[in-house]
A and B are shown apart, each in its own frame.
Chain A
Amino acid sequence: MATIKEELRAAVKKLFDEDRIDYFVGYVEDYGHTFPAILAKGSDLSRLTFDRKSYNNLADFLPELRGSRVGLVCKQCEVRTLNVLAAEGQIERDKLVVVGVPCPAMVDPRKLPADEAGLDDLDESYWQEKCRRCLERNTPFADVFVGERASTPTPAEGWPLLQEVEAMSAEERLAWWREQMSLCIRCYACRLACPLCYCHQCFVEDNKPQWLDKSVRPENNLHYHIIRAIHLAGRCIECQECSRVCPVGIPVDVLNNVLARDFAERFGYLAGETAEAKPALTHYERDDKEDFIL
């Protein structure tokens, strides 16, 4: 039986041969690593892979490739992102060929044993945090599906770190966030890795008016992170790319989770669950629960 890698390579070759796509966005393996790549027609497809280290959110590349016909490996992280991007008019679905895969749950490289022994059988304790909350392991709207369908997971409730922070008093939370913010060097890797931060001009670069002080001080860093969380309110699909790429290890996604949790409770809204749902901030109900307004 062909492995998923072989099936994937054959499927992509077929897409290029039939001239259905100009680019393919997937993962390649090299130097013992798995990393995302954009392959053009005629590229070497022999390094294409899909394994337990394919944790990046590939939808990050789509707004840039807009206008081209693109094929894409699509696990659940990308599925939810595509739903949001489609609702916001950022992708042209008819130019996209979605290659579905059964997601085996991704491992966290920081937790991996040095020799990566038994990569395929590592249990939940080695997983990426996001994979514990995954809703569905198979791509629901795949144009091509490779591999065998995976079983439906039971998503874990809640976000452990958010719960930990919320158990603190207001003063402790202030101190905790101050501490985190004093580490941030404002490299904006979190923004770059975010598939939904696709603005050509971000508020952080605005000069007239200058909304955000350029100096890297905790209060300015917090200012940046709060506004970014607002811009992702009702949009963040919890792929945790922001926290994963942060060079100083700030769990940036906690702020996004605050809103995801509140919007789920308050508005019954989960970003990217369906392509039809109206984004939470471009929509309202007359009786939205307001509990703090004078």
Chain B
Amino acid sequence: MAEEEKQSVRETAAPWEPNVVGFLCNWCSYAGADLAGTSRIPYACNVRVIRVPCSSRVDPLMILRAFREGADGVLVSGCHPGDCHYIEGNYYARRKLIALKQLLDHVGLDPRRFRVSWVSASEGRKWAKVVETVTRDLLEAGPFHYEENGDDQGRAPGRG
């Protein structure tokens, strides 16, 4: 096992662990994550995987819903452009995810909370690296609450 991989895994659990919801396409990223497992590559266990047929199945609604349900971060992962099992699904997904990314950045959501990656079925190592990056960034960013300073009704400060 490469030295850098060993070091990238935290020895002890942090006091708070980020909850990441990962939408993985069946054909590439899910298989890539599987390969990371069967190759016994150690990496952070913070991503809760939801398997979808294709990255274009991921509706922005699902991503926002994941945040509403308490996710600290969301990761969408699919095949590399050009490698989609359905030929062009990830090209459509890319435009949709670009749009969502623009909006989330605009309303001031920390860019570390919403990530997209292309991981193929043979990229177990890349998958491990993506998860490490996402988890490390979220450990820095901290837990996600939209209404950090709101009152118990969820209203913004200073409103009746």
Contact = CB atoms under 8 A, between A and B. Distances in A.
Given A218-B154, A288-B91, A213 B96 contact: no
B1 interface: no
Interface of A: 165-166, 170-179, 181-183, 203, 211, 213, 215, 217-220, 222-223, 226-227, 229-230, 233-234, 255, 258-259, 262-263, 266-267, 280-282, 284-286, 288, 290, 292-294
A268 B35 CA distance: 40
A218 B117 contact: no
A219 B103 contact: no
B96 A290 contact: no
A288 B98 contact: yes
Q: Interface residues of A: mostly helix, strand, loop or mixed? A: helix
Contact of B104 (A215, A226, A267): A226
B152 to A, nearest CB: 11
B103 A223 contact: no
B65 to A, nearest CB: 6
B110 A222 contact: no
Contacts of B106: 165-166, 173, 255, 258
A281 B60 CA distance: 13
B116 A218 contact: no
B156 A182 contact: yes
A226 B81 CA distance: 26
A173 B107 contact: yes
Interface in B107-129: 107-111, 115-118
Interface string B73-114: 000000001100000100110111011111111111111000
Nearest to A217: B154
B68 interface: yes
Contacts of A173: 106-108
Given A226-B60, A259-B102, A177 B94 contact: no
Contact of B94 (A222, A223, A263, A284): A284
Contacts of A219: 68, 146-147, 154
A230 B107 contact: no
B61 interface: yes
